Structure 1
């Protein structure tokens, strides 16, 4: 899938360009499946079955000269899950060009990400039967609210759920319905919900990758059973929809400035957490913040000091590593701890279970 940034683009322009692509697609081994056009945001996205990125660029260049700004490899099933189709929708025909099918279908989507406590930790905390019943209830309510609010299920794997919506109002109603449906169970499973919005293709190498990632970061800023909205959600969410929410105190909005800070801190952590020598001085240098500012931002946004944040990030990474065939010593060093004994101590203190016992719960 590629993205073209074309200020002032109209649906008819996109249809004409797509028609020119279809004329020569075979010359480049391509199959132009469909496209999306967003007049308001000046963007178009093409879904193409192609041998490589270069073939897409050359085909577009010869057909109409509009070289894509970004290209990402996608799975058509995932595209359909996010956007609802992989073929052309119904359109209309211009009287002046009766053979030109035109449609205006933006690819801009509202993305909902919900997360619960790790399933193995829930088993340890609540017992196998109770934890399984709560997760089953979580899945049931998720799908029920998704159906009622016309959302699309993209992923539901254990603790993480991803859904896509065309309407902000429906996305918010879905989040509120999930929260209300789970009620006390939401706190027991430590439910977190993040809402963000954006385009499917950016500089990230996966479809809606940066949109999902920010929604996950937002989940980290909220309290248990709270919904956290990105600034863009807050901007476009309609007042009449907001007034229909039963409990607005359960919702939290993050400013654009704080989103940038979150992005910066987590990007640094993702790139440096494996380094056991990574220290607060390195964290400050990488983020361009003084020690006092980093401390203030970390405690305000995430409720923990920078040192606590680094340790917590590493320990959460360890949870996923311990679900693989990595042993405890390998996991220790892969997540940036220099001592297996210290890693075990921190893990036990953070999660109430030893790494070995956690691994056996699988």
Structure 2
């Protein structure tokens, strides 16, 4: 089947996009069937975005094309040296049918920081934002409308130059794909159990912990498997063997009895956009917020004395999840009270209310993508 190639006019980002419609795009009925029970990361929209970069030509050839396999040379640098970064954000359908995303400029800035750390070129912020708009322009129908559902957006950068040598690649690709996401929790939000890993580290001082790069997640998979074997849902890592760092894919926040929220600070922690948003909303309510080093002993002793009444985790996928138990080799922390969980869920409700347009966006966090 012939493909109709359309050239769009230059956008506000100064890019002229080539758009190739997918001749095998899902029918509306097929798409609706998927959106009725999408799960998470199981289905993908009909199109994807990519922009090339080369040492000589800079960023060029932006295009929207049918979703499908990426052809790589077996010697592509990403396959041998792990030079890649990614992001995660969502598109939300509001009650009037419009499509919005949440704090995308923060994601754009974070992927730049990640790229810098991994010796990749930094995608201009306006190119990042434009790529979101371009994908929604062709795949907006994939944004679900059921409660607690969204379209998960996954931008990523990787080294595609074919060579076997340890140096930054001279050819890089930026892609954007999207996957409809169902409600993360089925049957209500229940407190999770956390396994404390003392054998394995997620990152080290001066390492890549603050970058959103695949290697950090790969190194968390073995300890995550150990967590499952212990009957836990997630794994918590320590920095320098004693300071709280983060979970395998979420940030952690402690709640003190006076309402103060304490979150770990370290150069090996990914700067969570959801975490920052939750803490901002908490400060709006009058809660004190502390960003500082926190030892596992402080959590343990604080839970025992009643000074720390609970904890919760936060991230893009689950938004906010109360932590009911932390299990270690030789001790256990259990939070029985409801105050911390109620605060966490109240903040979650406010944040998701903003994202879905039900609550006033006082901080100007939302950006419309379909206008």
TM-score (structure 1 length as normaliser) = 0.23
Greater share of helix: 1
Larger radius of gyration: 1
Greater share of strand: 2
